[in-house]
Every structure is written in C-alpha cells, then in structure tokens.
Amino acid sequence: MLTVPNLFTLARLLCLPVFLYLLFGRDNRAGAAWLLGGLGATDWVDGYLARRLGQVSEFGKIFDPTVDRLLFIVGTLAIIIDGAAPIWFCVLVVAREVLVGAMMAIATLVFKMPRFDVTYWGKLATFLLMFAVPGFMLGASDFPGNTGFQIASWILGIPGLALSWYTAVAYVPKVRAAVAGA
C-alpha cells in the first residue's frame, strides 16, 4: 500500500480540503480553479509511476479511480454551490460520475466483476471535463482573460460531456458481460 504511486494519489486527495478552503474560506475562485486544474492535469501521473517503478498494486487500481471520482464529484458539487459554472452542466457531470461509480462499485463488490480498463473515449471525456470545469471557475473569476477561459470551457465542455455520457452508456454492455463472466 505504501508505494510511490499510492502516496502521490493520497497527496492529490489531501489537496481536496485545500481546494474547498480556497473556494469557500478565502473566496479565491482563481486559486481554487488552478488547484483543481492541476489535480486534473496530474491524473495520469500515479498510473505512470506505478508502471514505471513496477509498483502496480490491486489497492492502487481501486484507490486511484476512487480518488479521481471523489475529486471530480466534490469539486463539481462545490462549484455548483459557489455558482461558478452552469448548474445544468455540473449536475450532468455529477450525475454521470455517481451513476457510473455506483454501477462499477456494485458490479465489482457484489457480483465480483473483474476490473477492466477505461476506454480511450472515456479518458478523452475525462481529460476534456477536467479542463472545462476549472475553466468555468476561471471564467467566473476576476482572473485576467476570464472571458477566454469561459469560451474555452464551452468548447471543451460540451464534447466532454457528450463523450462522458456516451461512454457511460457504452460501459453497460461491458459490465453486463463482465458480470456474466464472473
């Protein structure tokens, strides 16, 4: 459990209270947005470290996506509360994450489904959304160039949202087959 990749994932998780503090305690949307963007941009690092250092673990295979989903859900809910992004957009992001997370958790824990890798389209959707969501925050802040961030968020966010829901639907038959095989 105490591997470099898992410690990196833990460090990312421990940044979540800092994000909430910046957003609500310091009323610093731009700072919170940059932190959330950094957490999204480093999403791939723990997996890379695990493979590069030969420290892939079953715990890490569960811990990393759980932390990613937690960061995404809590971050987006905080943004809804703050009003820094379109509510309908954030609700659709959170609903998808909760539904897919619940489906995977039930299939894995109850039906002993073996783990399978995220698809390319799922990774692309996450990548787009992890930049769009903090971009909306920067767009709603007094950060220089905020209008550009707002525009870029829409450009990345709409395809990211569409792809995320497409992959959610596409995972259903894969989960069914994996559960039946288990």
Give me 121's structure tokens.
């389209």
pLDDT of residue 98: 94
Residue 26 scores a pLDDT above 90:
yes
Residue 165 scores a pLDDT above 90:
yes
pLDDT of residue 87: 96
Among 146, 47, 133, 140, smallest CA distance to 90 is for 133
Among 40, 18, 36, 41, smallest CA distance to 141 is for 36
**Rounded to an integer, what distance in angstroms lies between the CA atom of residue 60 and that of residue 169?**
26
**Rounded to an integer, what distance in angstroms lies between the CA atom of residue 133 and that of residue 30?**
12
Write the single-letter amino acid at 132.
Answer: A
Kindly provide the residue ranges of all beta strands, DSSP E only, lying in the chain, ordered along the sequence: none
**DSSP character at residue 24:** I
Calculate mean pLDDT across residues 31-52.
Answer: 93
Calculate mean pLDDT across residues 45-64.
Answer: 91
pLDDT of residue 117: 79
Residue 31's domain is classified under what CATH number?
1.20.120.1760
- The owner of tokens 């833990």 is 10
Task: Please compute, for residue 178, the number of CA atoms within 13 A of its CA located in the half-sphere on the CB side.
Answer: 19
Number of domains making up the chain: 1
41-50, 138-147, 154-163: least confident range = 41-50
Dihedral in degrees, nearest 10, Cα atoms 22, 27, 29, 35: -10
**Rounded to an integer, what distance in angstroms lies between the CA atom of residue 30 and that of residue 91?**
21
Among 44, 182, 24, 41, smallest CA distance to 115 is for 182
54-63, 79-88, 136-145, 154-163: least confident range = 54-63
**Per residue in 93-107, is it b (16+ CB within 10 Å) or e — as a string?**
bbebbeebbeebeeb
pLDDT of residue 65: 87
- Residue with the bigger pLDDT between 41 and 115: it is 41
**Other beta carbons less than 10 A from residue 177's beta carbon:** 12
- Domain of residue 176 covers 4-181
% of the chain surpassing 70 pLDDT: 100
Q: What band does 160 get if pLDDT is binned at 50, 70 and 90?
A: very high
Give me 83's structure tokens.
């009003």
Per-residue pLDDT of 84-142, as tens digits, reads: 999 999 999 999 999 999 999 899 889 999 888 788 999 899 999 999 999 999 999 99
Q: What is the pTM of this model?
A: 0.91
